[in-house]
Amino acid sequence: MLKKFSIRKKMTLWNVLIIVIFTIVLFFLCYDALDRSLLEKQNKIKALTESAAGIVYKYIKLEKNGELTHAEAVEAASENVEALRFDDGNYIFIDDYDQRQIVNPTRPENKNQIQPTDPEMLKRLHNIIDKNTPGEYFYYTAKKPGTSEFLPKISYIAPITEWKWTIGTGVYMDDIAAQKTSYIIEISIICALIFIFLMIIATLFSNSMTVPLAKLSASLLNSSNEMETKSLNLSKMSEEVGNSSKSQADSIQETAAAIAEVTSMIARTSKLTEQSDELAHIIANGTKEGGEAVTRMVSAMESIQESSQRLSDIETIIKQIESKTMVINEIVSKTELLSLNASIEAARAGEYGKGFAVVAEEVGNLANTSGKSSNEIRELLEKSRNSVQEILHLTVQRVSEGQEKTKSVATTFEKITVDVNNINTQMQQITEATKEQEIGVKQIATAMARIDSSAINNLSNAEKSVIAATEVFEISKVLKSISKETEEIIFGKA
C-alpha cells in the first residue's frame, strides 16, 4: 500500500504518524496529569480541610481548658475559618449536624439556615459525625459563586464530633474541566506547532531528496527510453542486415550456381563452336562442291538446250516425212484411179480381160491398203509432230527456267560461299571469345566464392548484432523498470 505514495507523502505520513503517536502520548500524559491533578486537588482540599479542622480543634481545646466559653470559641473558630482562602477565592465551609450553615463566606445571608441536602449525603454526614470516622469525599451539585447555575463539585468533609459540626472545602468540576481544556489547548497548540515544524522540515527534506531524485529518475527514464528506442532500431536494422545478408548469401549462392551453369554452358558452347567451326569448314567445302555441281548443271542445261535443238531438227524431219507421205497418198489416189480404169477396161475386154481385172482389183486393194497405211502414218506423224512440238516447247521453256534458276542458284551458292567463309571467320572469333569468356567466368566464380564467404561472415555478424541489440533492449527494459520503480518511490504509484 505504501508503494503507492511518493517520498513526500511518505514523509508526511511519517510525520503525521509521529504527531499522532506524540499526540496520543501527550493526551495520555495529559489525562494522567489531569487525573493526578484531580488527585492533587483531592489531597489539597483534604489537607486544607484537616488544617481548618485543626484550627477548630485548637479552639475546642481552649474551650476545654476553660480559656474560652463555648460561644467565644465557636465565634473565634468561625471567624478564623471564614478568613481562610485558597486558589483564587475557594473557601472553607462549616455546617452543623442538621446542615445549618455555620460558615460560608460566599453565602453569608444563609448563615444559621438549614441547607437543602440530598438524603443519602445527609445520612453519610450523620454517619461520620456519629461514628467519628475520618473525612470522606462527596460529589454533589452546588451553586457556584458568581453564577446562578448549580454545577458538579467535589468536597472533602471531616467531622468535628465535639461540636457536631462538619467542616470541609471543595472545588467545582468545571474549574478542573477548564484547567483540563486549557491544558488540552496548550497541548494541541504544541502539537500543531510541532506538526508544522515537522511538515516544513519534511517538505524541505523531501524536496532536497525528491527534486534531485526526480531529475535523476527523469534522466534515467529518458536514457532508458532512448536506449530502448535505439536498441529497437538497432535490432530492426540488424534483422534487416541479417535478412539482407541472408538474401545476399542466397542470391550469391544462386548466382554462383548460375555462374557454374554458365561456365558449363560456355564450355559446351566452346565445344559446340569448335564443332561449328569444323561444320563451317565442311559447309564451305560442300558449298564449293555445290558451286562446282551448279557449274556442271549449267553445262548440262546447255547440253539439254542443244538436245532440244536436235528435237527441233527431228520435227523438221517429221514434217519432211509428212510431206513425203502426202506424195504417197497422191500416188495411191492415182493408183486407185488407174486400178478403176483398168477394171473398166478389163470388163470391156470380157473374157480376155478377167485376169487383168483380178490384177487391177488387187492393185486397187493394195492401193487402198497403202492409202490407209499412209493416212495412219500421216496421222501418227502428225501426232508425233505435235508431241515433239509440245516436248520441244516444254523443254525449251523448262531449259530456260532451268538456266535462269541455275544461274540464280550459282549466284546464291557464290553468296553462300562468301557467307560461309564469313561465318567460318566469325566462328573462329566466337571460339576465341568463348574461351576468353570461360576464363572470365571462372574468375567471376572465384570472386563470387569470396563474396559468398564475406556474406556468410556478414550474416554471422548480423546475427551477433541482433543478439547484442536484444541484450541492449533487455538492459534498457531493466533500466526503465528501475527508473519506474525509482519514480514510484519518489512520486508513488499512480
DSSP 375-390: HHHHHHHHHHHHHHHH
Which of 400, 322, 327, 336 lies closest to 366, judged by CA?
A: 336
285 vs 156 pLDDT, higher one: 156
Whether 490 shows a pLDDT value over 70: the answer reads no
- Among left, alpha and beta (phi > 0; psi -120 to 50; other), residue 155 is beta
Cell numbers linked to 432: 576465341
Would you say 484 and 221 are in contact if contact means Cβ atoms under 8 Å apart?
yes
193 vs 465 pLDDT, higher one: 193
Name residue 8's beta-bridge partners: none
What type of residue is 144?
K
pLDDT confidence band for 55 (50 / 70 / 90): very high
pLDDT confidence band for 58 (50 / 70 / 90): very high
pLDDT of residue 265: 74
Whether 217 shows a pLDDT value over 80: the answer reads no
Domain ranges of the chain: 2-205
Please write the tens of the pLDDT for every residue from 135-187: 899 988 888 777 778 888 889 999 999 999 999 998 888 777 777 777 778 87
What type of residue is 379?
E
User: Going by C-beta distance under 8 Å and a sequence separation of 6 or more, which residues neighbour residue 72?
Assistant: 63
Strand order in the sheet with 136-143: 101-103, 93-96, 165-172, 150-160, 136-143
pLDDT of residue 49: 92
Most confident of 206-215, 314-323, 340-349: 340-349
Would you say 223 and 47 are in contact if contact means Cβ atoms under 8 Å apart?
no
User: Going by C-beta distance under 8 Å and a sequence separation of 6 or more, which residues neighbour residue 17?
Assistant: none
Distance CA(442)–CA(187), nearest Å, equals 103
Q: Candidates 3.30.450.20, 3.40.50.300, 3.40.50.1700, 3.40.720.10; correct CATH number of 2-205?
A: 3.30.450.20
pLDDT of residue 54: 92
Please write the tens of the pLDDT for every residue from 423-461: 778 777 777 777 787 787 778 778 777 877 877 887 777
Please write the tens of the pLDDT for every residue from 95-137: 998 889 999 888 888 888 888 888 898 899 899 988 888 889 9
Distance CA(202)–CA(18), nearest Å, equals 12
Half-sphere exposure of 37 toward its Cβ, with a 13 Å CA cutoff? 15
Mean pLDDT of the chain: 78
pLDDT confidence band for 404 (50 / 70 / 90): confident
What count of other Cβ atoms lies within 10 Å of the Cβ of residue 63?
20
Question: What average pLDDT does this structure show over 181-206?
Answer: 79
